Amino acid sequence: MTSVATRIDLLTGKPAGLPGTAPAPSTCSTDLSANPWDFAPAVSAGYGPGASEDDVVPAGAPAQPVIPEEYQHASAEELDRRITAAKQTLGERVVVLGHFYQRDEIVKHADFLGDSFQLARAARSRPEAEAIVFCGVHFMAETADILSGEHQSVILPNLAAGCSMADMADEDSVEEAWEQLMDILGETDDDGRQTVVPVTYMNSSAALKAFCGRHGGIVCTSSNAATVLEWAFERGRRVLFFPDQHLGRNTAKAMGIALERMPMWNPHKDLGGNTAQDLQDAEVILWHGFCSVHRRFTVAQIDKARAEHPGVRVIVHPECPMPVVDAADENGSTDYIRKAIDAAEPGSTFAIGTEINMVNRLADQHPEHTIFCLDPVICPCSTMYRIHPGYLAWMLEELVAGRVINRISVDAATARDAEVALERMLAALPR
Tell whether residue 381 is among the known ligand binding residues.
yes
Tell whether residue 291 is among the known ligand binding residues.
yes
- Judge whether 223 and 430 are in contact, CB under 8 Å: yes
- Judge whether 38 and 73 are in contact, CB under 8 Å: no
Tell whether residue 373 is among the known ligand binding residues.
no
Tell whether residue 99 is among the known ligand binding residues.
yes
Other beta carbons within 10 angstroms of residue 425's beta carbon come to 26
- Residue 372: φ, ψ to 5°: -145, 160
User: Cα angle vertex 249, ends 284, 322, to 5°?
Assistant: 160
Tell whether residue 309 is among the known ligand binding residues.
no
Measured CA to CA, the distance from residue 330 to residue 327 in angstroms comes to: 9
The most distant pair of C-alpha atoms in the chain lies apart, rounded to whole Å, by 66
User: Cα angle vertex 222, ends 221, 227, to 5°?
Assistant: 75
Going by their DSSP bridges, the two strands 349-353 and 313-316 should be labelled as parallel
Tell whether residue 29 is among the known ligand binding residues.
no
Measured CA to CA, the distance from residue 168 to residue 55 in angstroms comes to: 9
Give 401: exposed, middle or buried? Use CB within 10 Å, 0-12, 13-18, 19+.
Answer: exposed
Other beta carbons within 10 angstroms of residue 404's beta carbon come to 13
Tell whether residue 116 is among the known ligand binding residues.
yes
Tell whether residue 201 is among the known ligand binding residues.
yes
Measured CA to CA, the distance from residue 386 to residue 161 in angstroms comes to: 6
First to last CA, the chain: 32
Measured CA to CA, the distance from residue 105 to residue 92 in angstroms comes to: 21
Tell whether residue 163 is among the known ligand binding residues.
yes
Tell whether residue 105 is among the known ligand binding residues.
no
- Residue 227: φ, ψ to 5°: -60, -40
Tell me 18's DSSP state.
Answer: S
Helix or strand or coil: residue 385?
A: helix
Question: Residues annotated as binding site?
Answer: 99, 116, 163, 201-203, 222, 291, 317-319, 334, 381
Question: Residues annotated as binding site for [4Fe-4S] cluster?
Answer: 163, 291, 381
Question: Residues annotated as binding site for iminosuccinate?
Answer: 99, 116, 201-203, 222, 317-319, 334
